[in-house]
Amino acid sequence: MSGQGTATAPPDVLTGGETGRRAGPARRRRPRPPTRDSGWWALMLLLPAAAGLAVFEIWPTFQTIYYSFTSWGAFGGHAWSGLENYRTLIADSDVFHAIVNTAIITAITLLAVPLSAVVAALLSLPGMRGVTIYRTLYFLPVVTLPAAVALTWKWLFNGDYGLINWLLSKIGIDGPHWLSDPATAIFAISIVGVWGSIGYNMVIFLSGIRGIPVDYYEAAELDGAGRLAQFFHVTVPLLTPSIFFVTVITVINSLQAFDLIYLMVGQQSPAIERTETLVYLFYQRGFAEHDGGYAAAIGVLLLIATLILTAAQFRLQKRWVHYG
Amino acid sequence: MKRLLSLLLVPLLLAAAACSGSSESGGDSDEQVTLTYAIWDQAQAAAMKQIIQEFHAQHPNIDVQVQVTPWESYWTKLQTSVTAGSGPDVFWMTMVYAQYYAIGGGIAALDDQVKKSKLDTSVYVPAVTKAYTVDGKLYGIPKDVNGFGLCYNKKLFDAAGVKHPDASWKWTDVIAAAQKLTNKQKGVYGFVAPEADELSWYLTVPQVGGQVISPDGKRSGYDQDATIQGIQFWTDMITKYHVSPTLQQTTDTDPLAMLTSGKVAMRYCGSWEPEEIAAVPYGKANIGIAPLPAGPTGKREYYSNGLADSISAKTKHPEQAWQFLQFLGSEKAAEIQAKTGTVIPAYQGHADAYAKAMPEFDLQVFVDHLKYAQPFPASTDTSVWRDEVTKQFAEAWTGKAPVGDVSKSVAEMMNTALSKEKK
Amino acid sequence: MADSMQLTARRGRRRFRPRHPIAHLVLCLGAIFMVGPFLWQLSTSLQTFGESVSVPPTFLPHSPQWSNVTTVFSALPFGRELMNTTVMTIARTVGQVLFSSLAGFAFARMRFRGNAVLFAIFLSVTMVPYQVFLLPQYQIMQGLGLLNTLTALFLPGMFSAFGTFLMRQFFRQIPMEIEEAARIDGANILQIFWRIMLPMSAPGMIALGVLVIIWSWNDLLWPLVVNSDPRQMPVSAGLASLQGQYTTNFPVLMAGSLLASLPVIIVFIVFQRHLMSGIAFSGVKG
């Protein structure tokens, strides 16, 4: 991994002339904690974060697991119901749809990874001009409120008056009602996902490419490799840590997809079954239909899915990620 | 309490005589209190604020804040917040949820206060009062009633040389006119058939003698042939005659917006909608309102929803909330709503003010429709089957399955749901 | 942190290539895809409803309809919601950066019993999707009587296991010598943290801060759940309710979207460099 960040800051500048520069005893590879007992201080420093997490994340996790075994009343109160929620969960066609939908959204959104790698590579070409402008334009979607993104794309995808179908009609295609047609809605959603994640991936890749020593390219050029060959034989292999990171982030984000479905499709749409995700279902059951116990079971399912996916990705990374 | 008395003395209040007993309770009436009033219709917010202004003038110690939450999230948020005790003090209620909230303990029974204040509930449209009476107790003060009519685009009718609709129209006239008005090249449809029970088949099913739910609320009526006929009127418009935008189109673009932008020539409209139509210049200039076309045999019955104002069972200010509720149910409040043309008040005798509120439209049509009103289909847990019904009928609207088949499986689903309800 | 411009300029000097016409063509096409929606949003926001649904579409409104903007302001307590979002974002960012730095420092630089166990617990929390916390967090807010308050919006979001992890990685990079020198001068842990570690970890804090800002500004689910009063909602939830009210009044919806995204876009353009390097850092260390 490249020597990014703090390593570039010379220590003596930061400590000032206070102590003067001291040659350390034996230079350690890694800083190790001092050997003195600082239990109290440690406790004080850890307390805010640990207490906050205990109250707002750790305890709620167990609480949710407990709730997943209960059934809830309309206006409060819950009772133990054993495995009832999980039995319903297994038979629930909505849950099945949600899992399939989430997988499709993830798969399509992953297309943004190669696209952004190409953009980053083009922007890193020697002598490339206008890099800052391109970078800004490509990054705009990342900093735009997802709610605003959803409304804008919903309008673009409008079947009768949307810009996209008008453009398609210019080349003789009669565009569908993207968001209300069960066959197309999920693709429309995923396109927005791609659009929204290119900028973020690009920035990661730009910094990854920057960490690749110029010598590699020079050596490749001496071997007679063209730009394309350089991209595939130098850039891509040395970029695998960034590619891995971006892939993990994309998968996790897709697993969490909610805003776009909530705002662009919604419960009334005939396409909802073909677009709902686990998080959407969680919100719908837990907060719209007030079935907290069942929502908790969906939450547990989501937790398990996340753990499995994360474990799988870290296992697989050994096969293809090269940490230079 | 003096303030309450002075309110009751306002000469405009015909109900004064009935209410003048006043309540003795409430030593805290001088305390400054802010109530939250939740509604879902932005178009009515102005009228509601005007009512609050009048109320506040008489009760300077009670502030009321209107909270508009769109229909889609209104019930989600309401139930969550009422359960948590953080919800609004007073809110709109529909017949769909009345029993659910009353039995679940979300809204307060009003009988004690009604008795104490000697409020005369006979001034309201009896059907509405009845719908909000659960197990013999009243849970809401009736706010309005809904009538329906046929909104049509005069300009498009004239351009196509079609005679404007009138009281003689039946289903066949609508279909014939829609066929003449449809002009696919220009992107104009003769009619719009949204999949929205209250604004579609709840208006036609009773016209052929069908029913959504049996009068005792125990059985679904969706497996009856007449009911299916009433629903087919709508799906035929899309899948047989091709004179209406598809379900996808009405999901992408609001049908009312289609009407007010000249994309569809006819739409069934509710009495609360003219204000929204008038807000769009094109709509104001070109839309006319005719009586709702009758069924094939001339029947005009329809399912009518009417709203009520209810008090949260968990309000911290029950006394003040009741004072506000009384004002919402007063003749003054009815008059304000009627005059702005927002809704037909449930307080009887104010329909005329509503009918005259917007000279550009013939609002009398809606008032005349009221006499055919049937109780809105509801059971204890209406929303459970109602949402599912809407979901399943999408198959029929998109032409994937025949209406009859869908309707029969809907009936099965609904009967199962009804049998599970707590009585 | 080196700017990519410098580097490419350096490379350019070494092997001069005048232009990359194909690269520019590809990048320009891409840029149209990226920016097009914004331009369309801007154009629609100034149209009448009639213009917006005309076929062929209207590209330049006949006369700009500023009334769409006023409609947004009358339909939503927009200024208030913007302030709510700002407060929520600042509080969450300050909280996460501060608490994560403290804890991250303890994990990275202090030896105490249970360090490894506690850190493992923190790490496992980062794996839990946040929807899992939602129901109980809602109940905690309810129990504290905080529903429909600004505090409810930001309180649970002030703590972060991921942030702690990120800051720990950062503190571990700071050379040991500096700390030892300060110790010899008699500085205690708190002084070391405050005077030396904190200034040196500024890039890490900025990186974390930037991530929290984006996440918080965009957050929709939690506000949707915890606050039902429009005056206590952030802009994201406000836009959702605007859509509920003006279902398909596209010009009004576009005006609202534009107004809601403009502040962040401006902040982004001003602080672009920090933001980019912050994200790049998270990519390297995450």
Instruction: Identify whether the C-beta of residue B274 lies closer than 8 Å to the C-beta of residue B256.
Output: no
CA C156 to chain centroid: 16
Buried b (16+ CB within 10 A) or exposed e, A148-183: bbbbbbbbbbbbbbbbbbbeeeeeeeebbbbbbbbe
Does pLDDT of C182 surpass 90? no
C230, B67: Cβ pair inside 8 Å? yes
Distance from CA of C5 to the nearest CA of A (A): 7
**pLDDT computed for residue A24 by the predictor:** 39
**pLDDT band at residue B423 using 50, 70 and 90 as cut-offs:** low
In the predicted model, what is the mean pLDDT of residues C71-76?
Answer: 86
C99, A49: Cβ pair inside 8 Å? yes
What CA–CA distance (Å, rounded) separates C174 from C170?
A: 7
**Domain membership flag for residue A231:** yes
Extract the tokens encoding B67. 């909270």
* Residue in B42, B86, B253 nearest the CB of C148: B86
Q: In A123-170, which ranges are E strands?
A: none
**pLDDT band at residue C285 using 50, 70 and 90 as cut-offs:** very low
In the predicted model, what is the mean pLDDT of residues C210-219?
Answer: 86
B80, A287: Cβ pair inside 8 Å? yes
Packed helices C78-109 and C115-126: angle between N→C axes, nearest 10 degrees: 150
Does pLDDT of B102 surpass 50? yes
In the predicted model, what is the mean pLDDT of residues B372-376?
Answer: 90
User: Mutate which of A71, A75, A179, A265 to test chain B, going by most B C-beta atoms within 10 A?
Assistant: A75
Does pLDDT of B8 surpass 50? no
What CA–CA distance (Å, rounded) separates C28 from C34?
A: 10
C31, A134: Cβ pair inside 8 Å? yes
Q: Which of A33-47, B264-278, B280-294 has the lowest mean pLDDT?
A: A33-47
Does pLDDT of A198 surpass 90? yes
- Mean pLDDT, chain B, whole residue set: 89
**pLDDT computed for residue B107 by the predictor:** 95
A128, C217: Cβ pair inside 8 Å? no
**pLDDT, tens digit, for every residue of C162-180?**
899 888 888 888 888 888 8
* Residue in A41, A161, A259 nearest the CB of C189: A41
Let me know if the fold of B2-145+305-355 is the same as that of B148-304+379-420: yes
B252, A287: Cβ pair inside 8 Å? no
**pLDDT computed for residue C202 by the predictor:** 84
**pLDDT band at residue C159 using 50, 70 and 90 as cut-offs:** very high
Instruction: Identify whether the C-beta of residue C236 lies closer than 8 Å to the C-beta of residue C218.
Output: yes
Q: Name every residue whose Cβ is closer than 8 Å to that of residue A290 and which is 6 or more positions away in sequence.
A: A72, A74, B79, B80, B83
* Residue in B71, B187, B253 nearest the CB of C55: B187
**Chains contacting A with at least 3 CB pairs below 8 Å?**
B, C
Domain tally for chain A? Answer: 1
Q: A-chain residues within 8 Å CB-CB of C12?
A: 126-128
**pLDDT, tens digit, for every residue of B231-261?**
999 999 999 999 999 999 998 889 999 999 8
In the predicted model, what is the mean pLDDT of residues C216-231?
Answer: 88
In the predicted model, what is the mean pLDDT of residues B369-394?
Answer: 90
Task: Give B282: exposed, middle or buried? Use CB within 10 Å, 0-12, 13-18, 19+.
Answer: middle
C217 contacts chain A (CB < 8 A) = yes
What CA–CA distance (Å, rounded) separates B249 from B237?
A: 14
**Chains contacting C with at least 3 CB pairs below 8 Å?**
A, B
Q: A-chain residues within 8 Å CB-CB of C5?
A: 131-132
Inter-chain CB pairs, A–B, below 8 Å: 62
B254, C247: Cβ pair inside 8 Å? yes
Q: Is C48 left (phi over 0), alpha (psi -120 to 50) or beta?
A: beta
**pLDDT computed for residue B82 by the predictor:** 87
Domains recognised in chain C with CATH numbers: 76-238+262-285 (1.10.3720.10)
- What domain range includes position A167? 85-320
User: What φ, ψ does residue B92 adopt, rounded to 5°?
Assistant: -70, 145
User: Mutate which of A36, A128, A214 to test chain C, going by most C C-beta atoms within 10 A?
Assistant: A128
Q: Is B170 left (phi over 0), alpha (psi -120 to 50) or beta?
A: beta
Q: B-chain residues within 8 Å CB-CB of C240?
A: 73
**Domain membership flag for residue A55:** no
Inter-chain CB pairs, A–C, below 8 Å: 385
CA A200 to chain centroid: 10
Q: Higher model confidence: residue C190 or residue B354? A: B354
Domain boundary assignment for chain B: 2-145+305-355, 148-304+379-420
A92 contacts chain B (CB < 8 A) = no
B251 contacts chain A (CB < 8 A) = yes
Q: Which of A59-68, A156-165, B327-336, C260-269 has the lowest mean pLDDT?
A: C260-269
**pLDDT band at residue A26 using 50, 70 and 90 as cut-offs:** very low
What CA–CA distance (Å, rounded) separates C92 from B11?
A: 56
**pLDDT computed for residue B13 by the predictor:** 34
- Mean pLDDT, chain C, whole residue set: 85
C11 contacts chain A (CB < 8 A) = yes
What CA–CA distance (Å, rounded) separates C171 from C166?
A: 9
**pLDDT band at residue A34 using 50, 70 and 90 as cut-offs:** low
User: Mutate which of B77, B252, B387, B395 to test chain A, going by most A C-beta atoms within 10 A?
Assistant: B252
User: Mutate which of C3, C8, C28, C166 to test chain A, going by most A C-beta atoms within 10 A?
Assistant: C8
**Domain membership flag for residue A53:** no
- Mean pLDDT, chain A, whole residue set: 84
Distance from CA of A227 to the nearest CA of B (A): 46
Extract the tokens encoding B171. 């289903």
**pLDDT computed for residue B267 by the predictor:** 97
**pLDDT, tens digit, for every residue of A50-74?**
999 999 999 999 999 999 999 987 7
What CA–CA distance (Å, rounded) separates B75 from A286?
A: 13
**Domain membership flag for residue A274:** yes
Q: A-chain residues within 8 Å CB-CB of B387?
A: 267
**pLDDT computed for residue A202 by the predictor:** 94
Buried b (16+ CB within 10 A) or exposed e, C139-158: bbbbeeebbbbbebbbbbbb
**pLDDT computed for residue A280 by the predictor:** 94
Q: Name every residue whose Cβ is closer than 8 Å to that of residue B152 and which is 6 or more positions away in sequence.
A: B164, B165, B265, B266, B267, B287, B288, B289, B290
C128, A61: Cβ pair inside 8 Å? yes
Distance from CA of B305 to the nearest CA of A (A): 20
What CA–CA distance (Å, rounded) separates B252 from A265?
A: 9
C128, A245: Cβ pair inside 8 Å? no
Q: Is A286 left (phi over 0), alpha (psi -120 to 50) or beta?
A: alpha
Q: Higher model confidence: residue A314 or residue B360? A: B360
Q: Which residue of B has its CA nearest to A269?
A: B251
Instruction: Identify whether the C-beta of residue C213 lies closer than 8 Å to the C-beta of residue A32.
Output: no
What CA–CA distance (Å, rounded) separates B320 from B7?
A: 14
| CATH code 3.40.190.10 for B148-304+379-420 | yes
B36 contacts chain C (CB < 8 A) = yes
Domain of residue A191, CATH code = 1.10.3720.10
**pLDDT computed for residue B174 by the predictor:** 96
**Domain membership flag for residue A74:** no
**Domain membership flag for residue A48:** no
Q: A-chain residues within 8 Å CB-CB of C189?
A: 38, 41, 45
Q: Is A60 left (phi over 0), alpha (psi -120 to 50) or beta?
A: alpha
- CATH class of the domain comprising B2-145+305-355: alpha beta
Does pLDDT of A239 surpass 70? yes
CA C82 to chain centroid: 15
A158 contacts chain B (CB < 8 A) = yes
**pLDDT band at residue C143 using 50, 70 and 90 as cut-offs:** confident
In the predicted model, what is the mean pLDDT of residues B117-122?
Answer: 92
**pLDDT computed for residue A224 by the predictor:** 87
